[in-house]
Amino acid sequence: EPEVTQTPSHQVTQMGQEVILRCVPISNHLYFYWYRQILGQKVEFLVSFYNNEISEKSEIFDDQFSVERPDGSNFTLKIRSTKLEDSAMYFCASKGGEDQPQHFGDGTRLSIL
């Protein structure tokens, strides 16, 4: 069964450094998402992306965050200058149509030192 894949599984970065999290959504999917889950807490929506542009973003997704779909397969989340509070699991998700359910990757654990 096709799945969403995320790399790396764990990223350790110094505070203030830039980090790029990578996702390969399911191949025929059109809608892409990033979520964040701080340890022990619920999954929080960050951003949705459709037709090569951001369609929705939350208050968490400030100017330090950006997303990109540089080619036909990758979907990336960049954090420009990381802060300690950015430490969390970051999940990518995709879906094939507007009324289809989202499917999640296994996440990238981001640790900011």
Min separation Cβ 59 and another protein, Å = 12
Any contact of residue 99 with another protein (CB under 8 A)? yes
Min separation Cβ 50 and another protein, Å = 7
Which amino acid appears at position 63 of this protein?
D
Min separation Cβ 94 and another protein, Å = 12
DSSP secondary structure letters along the chain: ----EEE-SEEEE-TT--EEEEEE--TT--EEEEEEE-TTS--EEEEEEETTEEEEE-TT--TTEEEE--SSS-EEEEESS--GGG-EEEEEEEESSTTSPPEE---EEEEE-
Show contacts with another protein in window 34-53 (CB under 8 A): 35, 41-45, 48, 50
Question: Looking at beta carbons only, is 31 or 65 nearer to another protein?
Answer: 31
Which residues contribute to the site for another protein (CB under 8 A)?
Answer: 4, 6, 31, 33, 35, 41-45, 48, 50, 55-56, 58, 91, 93, 98-99, 101-107
